[in-house]
Amino acid sequence: MPAKITEIKCKRCRNLLFTEEVSPSLTAHGQVIGAGARNTKCNSDVQEDCLYLAEDNMPDWIHEVVDRENWIRGKLYCPLCHARIGSFDFVSPKKCNCGEYVPPPIRITYSKVDTPHR
């Protein structure tokens, strides 16, 4: 059976942001969403529900943004319509609410993207 390709798209313009084959969506605890792990709201400072990406397998366009910001912190916008879809922070990691995990550095806001997870 071929692997299911999951596309994460910008909610506003439907631009493809990344596929989970390249960049698996992670929970705040760094677990791959869908592989037995449900999304968690165990976020440190976030009101909104988010998914996370690891720096090891972020999509190229996010890599470029992160490079441009010198791996510090910044916001992520859809490359096509410039809607804000998330943020990243490599310098001030905060533990999540349960105090056990540091969420992955790249954060994507659920309500800004089309994703099969919820």
CB of 59 to Zn ion, least distance (A): 14
- Judged by CB under 5 A, which of 16, 81, 94, 102 binds Zn ion? 81
Tell whether residue 117 is a contact of Zn ion (CB under 5 A).
no
Considering only residues 45 through 74, tell me which ones interact with Zn ion, judged by CB under 5 A. none
Of 94, 98, 102, 116, which lies in the binding site for Zn ion, with binding defined by CB under 5 A? 98
Q: Does 102 bind Zn ion (CB under 5 A)?
A: no
- State whether residue 39 is helix, strand or coil: coil
What distance in Å separates the CA atoms of residue 96 and residue 54, rounded to the nearest whole number? 16
Binder to Zn ion among 9, 12, 73, 117 (CB under 5 A)? Answer: 12
Q: State the minimum distance, in angstroms, from the CB of residue 89 to Zn ion.
A: 17
Cα 107 to Cα 88: distance, rounded to the nearest angstrom = 6
* Closest to 73 measured CA to CA, from 87, 89, 84, 62: 89
Tokens 């609410």 label which residue? 97
Rule CB under 5 A: is residue 113 a binding residue for Zn ion? no
Other C-beta atoms lying within 10 Å of the C-beta of residue 54: 14
